[in-house]
């Protein structure tokens, strides 16, 4: 797997500082990753040209490979923003210790995860999650406490909350992709376009195929009348806009100003 | 907890050793029951067979993660913990594993694995990269305000000639609105922080002074402090909070017995009374004076199912 398959890059202090600081974030948006990269160059090597981010990260990943860690790139499911997260690829008992969460808290997450995966919309209601507190492993947890734990997951960017319902944060999807596919092989949903794991998205009402919102945006970008790529039936949902980092910067739009996401169409 | 079988490319530490590679019994011992032979077998642990590169590599990876996680909590890592939680029956190659893990930590992350004190068999990670103030703008965790408190205490210790009585520490801290018995908005329980947490993390040494009544304790720099920062840096921070340049205090560049008085002089007091977080300085600023291992945060999986 390693060594001879990929030429390992050379780590410099620029890369190390980047990695150290990246680790302080659970997940980071691309624009902030670029800013971080620039900062590291500035600290160590002012005059060097800032390497293309993709190559920069590939260098770091080539040395992380032997440690079973990777900087993974993904895209937020609701508005197509590129994100980066450091994920652990090896599942060993050591990882257990990494958790900031107690056994019953992890079990609560597990329960929420299962509800999210089983749902049609990719969201699980707070009520439904809280109704499962009696079934949790470990110390007994009251509903009130469970509410706080769910908020902790939101703060730590494992879950996203929208109007009292919870779905997986892009970070959790990146981190747990393999685990979800292995554990819920029948319930898991996949995007028709990119073939990646799908939690939120749009689905064809005729044939049932699903697509991520950013994938829908790209696929139907230049078509006036979108049709399902699988059964060719008319695509009934509103096609979102393709995420454009330049446009966002110009208009100075913040996330909170954006129109509400239409992630729950199905 | 049993492991689910992992797909290709997802190694697990519970994987059985490759056939023919492990569990070699002591030579010439029959597998039959009874007799000295089996007794001998029961007493001597089987010599482990040769392990594949991949197995060793996975062990090193686990060890690296373990060290990162443990150091995140700033508790020195004991060799015994390493043996128990990670190395297990790879005990015989522990020195090699440690060597490789240390090499990886330094090469990849810029963290050096150092022994806290000679022959203590406990380790910490020290950052080989110098923290810079601008790091604070791009970090995900906003530094720790408790570091500021630690810095003050370290400064006091230093100023007092490397050792200070606990009562004197509180005399000073009270002027900053930090009391041993009162809950603090930022620090919570400052007494616990100073006399327990910082001590456990080996930033401070806390020793009872014999024959004192009421009992008093003395505080000194702990071994971790010497590895992570320096007297100069502490001095810089202390000077900063009094808006003075270290060069104004030439006496402290080489520590001498009683320089502490200037800190307590009237000039210091009006400023000391201003609340931390007000203009001038923030508690978090002290973080950049420590060569902390940047908190690894969420390197590792949320949980292991």
B65-98 pLDDT, tens digit each: 889 888 877 888 999 989 888 878 888 899 999 9
For helices A143-155 and A103-118, the axis angle rounded to 10 degrees is 80
The answer to whether the CB atoms of B134 and A95 lie below 8 A apart is no
Give the lowest-confidence range in A18-27, B24-33, B37-46, B105-114. Answer: B24-33
**DSSP code, position B230:** -
**The pLDDT value given to residue A204:** 94
Task: Give me the residue from A2, A91, A182 closest to B301, CB to CB.
Answer: A91
Give the 3-state DSSP-derived string for chain A, with helices as H, strands as E and coil as C: CCCCCCCCCCCCHHHHHHHHHHCCCCEEEHHHHHHHHHHHHHHHCCCCCCCCHHHHHHHHHHHHHHHCEEEEEEECCCCCCEEEEEEECCCCHHHHHHCCCCHHHHHHHHHHHHHHHHCCCCCEEHHHHHCCHHHCCCCCCCHHHHHHHHHHHHHCCCEEEECCEEEECHHHHHHHHHHHHHHCCCCCEEECCCCCEECCCEECCCCCCEECHHHHHHHCCCCCCCECCCCCCECCCCCCCCCCHHHHHHHCCCHHHCCCCCCCCC
Residue of chain B whose Cα is closest to the Cα of A68: B61
- Which residues in chain B are contacts of A67 at CB distance < 8 A? 60-61, 64-65, 104, 108
What ipTM does this complex have? 0.82
Condensed to tens digits (0 to 9), the pLDDT of residues A41-58 reads 999 977 888 899 999 999
| Distance, CA of B159 to CA of A81 (rounded, Å) | 52
The answer to whether the CB atoms of A86 and B62 lie below 8 A apart is no
Q: Are B240 and B225 in contact (CB under 8 A)?
A: no
Q: Is the pLDDT of residue A136 over 50?
A: yes
Task: Give me the residue from B12, B57, B129 closest to A16, CB to CB.
Answer: B129
DSSP string, B83-146: IIIIIGGGGGGHHHHHHHHHHHIIIII-EEEEESSTT--EEEEEESSPP-TTHHHH-SS---TH
Tokens of A10: 């050379």
- Which residues in chain B are contacts of A175 at CB distance < 8 A? 301-302
Residue of chain B whose Cα is closest to the Cα of A35: B138
| Distance, CA of A143 to CA of A126 (rounded, Å) | 10
The answer to whether the CB atoms of B110 and A17 lie below 8 A apart is yes
Q: How far is CA B297 from CA B65, B91, B142, B229, in A?
A: 11, 28, 12, 22
Task: Give me the residue from B10, B108, B141 closest to A91, CB to CB.
Answer: B10
Region A66-70 average pLDDT: 91
The answer to whether the CB atoms of B109 and A20 lie below 8 A apart is yes
**The pLDDT value given to residue B20:** 36
**DSSP code, position B47:** B
- Of the pLDDT bands very low, low, confident and very high (cuts 50, 70, 90), residue B231 is confident
Min Cα distance B45 → chain A (Å) is 24
Condensed to tens digits (0 to 9), the pLDDT of residues B198-212 reads 999 999 999 999 998
Give the lowest-confidence range in A124-133, B227-236, B278-287. Answer: B278-287
| Distance, CA of B123 to CA of B126 (rounded, Å) | 10
CB pairs under 8 A between A and B: 163
| Distance, CA of A252 to CA of B80 (rounded, Å) | 54
Q: Is the pLDDT of residue A5 over 60?
A: no
Condensed to tens digits (0 to 9), the pLDDT of residues A241-253 reads 999 888 776 765 4
Region A113-130 average pLDDT: 95
Residue of chain A whose Cα is closest to the Cα of B101: A67
Min Cα distance A211 → chain B (Å) is 26
- Which residues in chain B are contacts of A98 at CB distance < 8 A? 65, 69, 298-301
- Of the pLDDT bands very low, low, confident and very high (cuts 50, 70, 90), residue B10 is very low
Q: Is the pLDDT of residue A16 over 60?
A: yes
- Which residues in chain B are contacts of A178 at CB distance < 8 A? 7, 10
The answer to whether the CB atoms of B129 and A13 lie below 8 A apart is yes
Min Cα distance A155 → chain B (Å) is 12
Give the lowest-confidence range in A147-151, B97-101, B136-140. Answer: B136-140
Q: Which residue has the tokens 């077998």?
A: B41
Of A140 and B144, the structure prediction assigns the larger pLDDT to: A140
- Which residues in chain B are contacts of A17 at CB distance < 8 A? 110, 129, 135
Please give the mean pLDDT across all residues of chain A: 87
Q: Enumerate domains of chain A plus CATH numbers.
A: 13-67 (3.90.1150.220), 94-184 (1.10.10.10), 188-245 (3.30.40.10)
| Distance, CA of B250 to CA of B243 (rounded, Å) | 15
**The pLDDT value given to residue A262:** 44
Mutate to test the interface with B, among A31, A36, A42, A93 (most CBs of B within 10 A): A93
The b-or-e profile of B242-259 (16+ CB within 10 A means b, else e) is beeebeebeebeeeeeee
- Which residues in chain B are contacts of A23 at CB distance < 8 A? 294-299
Of B278 and A131, the structure prediction assigns the larger pLDDT to: A131
Residue of chain B whose Cα is closest to the Cα of A8: B108
Please give the mean pLDDT across all residues of chain B: 70
**The pLDDT value given to residue B152:** 84
Q: Is the pLDDT of residue A18 over 90?
A: yes
| Distance, CA of A252 to CA of A249 (rounded, Å) | 5
The answer to whether the CB atoms of B104 and A93 lie below 8 A apart is no
- Of the pLDDT bands very low, low, confident and very high (cuts 50, 70, 90), residue A30 is very high
Among A134, A123, A36, smallest CA distance to B138 is for A36
Among A164, A64, A5, A183, smallest CA distance to B5 is for A183
The answer to whether the CB atoms of A91 and B12 lie below 8 A apart is yes
B132, B138, B139, B140: CA torsion to nearest 10: 180
- The answer to pTM > 0.90 is no
Condensed to tens digits (0 to 9), the pLDDT of residues A172-213 reads 999 888 889 988 999 999 999 999 999 999 999 999 999 999
3-state secondary structure of B221: strand
Among B70, B125, B46, B60, smallest CA distance to B93 is for B60
Among A225, A196, A192, smallest CA distance to A211 is for A192
| Distance, CA of A124 to CA of A116 (rounded, Å) | 5
Condensed to tens digits (0 to 9), the pLDDT of residues B33-51 reads 444 444 444 445 555 567 7
Region B239-268 average pLDDT: 44
Min Cα distance B203 → chain A (Å) is 22
Region A94-110 average pLDDT: 76
Of B253 and A145, the structure prediction assigns the larger pLDDT to: A145
| Distance, CA of A109 to CA of A149 (rounded, Å) | 9
Q: Is the pLDDT of residue B275 over 60?
A: no
């Amino acid at each position: 797997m390693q060594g001879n398959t990929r030429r390992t890059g050379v780590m410099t202090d620029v890369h190390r500082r980047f990695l150290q600081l990246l680790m302080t974030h659970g997940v980071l948006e691309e624009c902030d990753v670029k800013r971080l990269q620039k900062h590291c160059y500035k600290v160590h090597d002012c005059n060097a040209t800032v390497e293309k981010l993709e190559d920069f990260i590939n260098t770091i990943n080539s040395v992380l490979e032997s440690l079973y860690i990777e900087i993974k790139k993904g895209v937020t499911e609701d508005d197509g923003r590129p994100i980066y997260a450091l994920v652990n690829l090896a599942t060993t008992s050591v990882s257990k210790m990494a958790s900031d969460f107690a056994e019953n808290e992890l079990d609560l997450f597990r329960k929420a995860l299962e509800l999210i995966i089983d749902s049609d919309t990719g969201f699980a209601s707070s009520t439904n999650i809280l109704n499962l507190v009696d079934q949790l492993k470990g110390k007994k947890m009251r509903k009130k406490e469970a509410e706080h734990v769910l908020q902790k997951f939101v703060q730590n960017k494992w879950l996203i909350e929208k109007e009292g319902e919870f779905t997986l944060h892009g970070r959790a999807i990146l981190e747990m992709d393999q685990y979800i596919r292995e554990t819920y092989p029948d319930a898991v949903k996949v995007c028709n376009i990119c073939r990646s794991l799908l939690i939120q998205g749009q689905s064809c009402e005729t044939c049932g195929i699903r697509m991520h919102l950013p994938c829908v945006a790209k696929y139907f970008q230049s078509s006036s009348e979108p049709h399902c790529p699988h059964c060719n039936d008319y695509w009934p949902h509103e096609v979102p806009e393709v995420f454009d980092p330049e446009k966002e910067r110009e208009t100075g739009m913040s996330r909170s100003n954006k129109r509400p996401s239409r992630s729950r169409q199905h | 907890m049993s492991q689910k079988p992992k797909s290709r490319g997802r190694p697990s530490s519970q994987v059985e050793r490759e056939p023919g590679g492990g569990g070699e019994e002591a030579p010439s011992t029959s597998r039959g029951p009874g007799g000295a032979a089996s007794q001998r077998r029961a007493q001597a642990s089987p010599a482990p067979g040769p392990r594949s590169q991949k197995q060793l590599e996975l062990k090193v990876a686990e060890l690296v993660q373990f060290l990162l996680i443990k150091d995140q909590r700033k508790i020195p890592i004991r060799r015994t913990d390493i043996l128990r939680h990670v190395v297990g029956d790879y005990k015989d190659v522990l020195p090699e594993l440690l060597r490789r893990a240390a090499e990886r930590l330094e090469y990849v992350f810029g963290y050096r694995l150092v022994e806290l004190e000679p022959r203590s068999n406990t380790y910490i990670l020290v950052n080989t990269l110098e923290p810079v103030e601008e790091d604070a703008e791009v970090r995900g965790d906003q530094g720790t305000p408790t570091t500021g408190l630690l810095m003050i205490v370290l400064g006091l210790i230093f100023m007092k000639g490397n050792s200070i009585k606990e009562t004197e520490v509180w005399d000073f801290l009270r002027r900053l609105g930090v009391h041993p018995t009162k809950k603090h908005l930022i620090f919570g329980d400052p007494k616990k922080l100073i006399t327990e947490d910082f001590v456990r993390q080996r930033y401070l040494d806390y020793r009872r002074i014999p024959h004192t009544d009421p009992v008093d304790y003395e505080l000194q720099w702990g071994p971790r402090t010497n590895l992570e920062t320096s007297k100069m840096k502490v001095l810089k921070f202390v000077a900063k909070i009094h808006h003075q340049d270290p060069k104004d205090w030439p006496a402290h560049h080489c520590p001498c017995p009683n320089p502490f008085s200037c800190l307590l002089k009237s000039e210091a007091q009006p400023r000391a009374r201003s609340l931390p977080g007000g203009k001038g300085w923030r508690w978090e600023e002290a973080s950049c004076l420590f060569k902390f291992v940047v908190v690894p945060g969420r390197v590792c999986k949320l949980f292991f199912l």
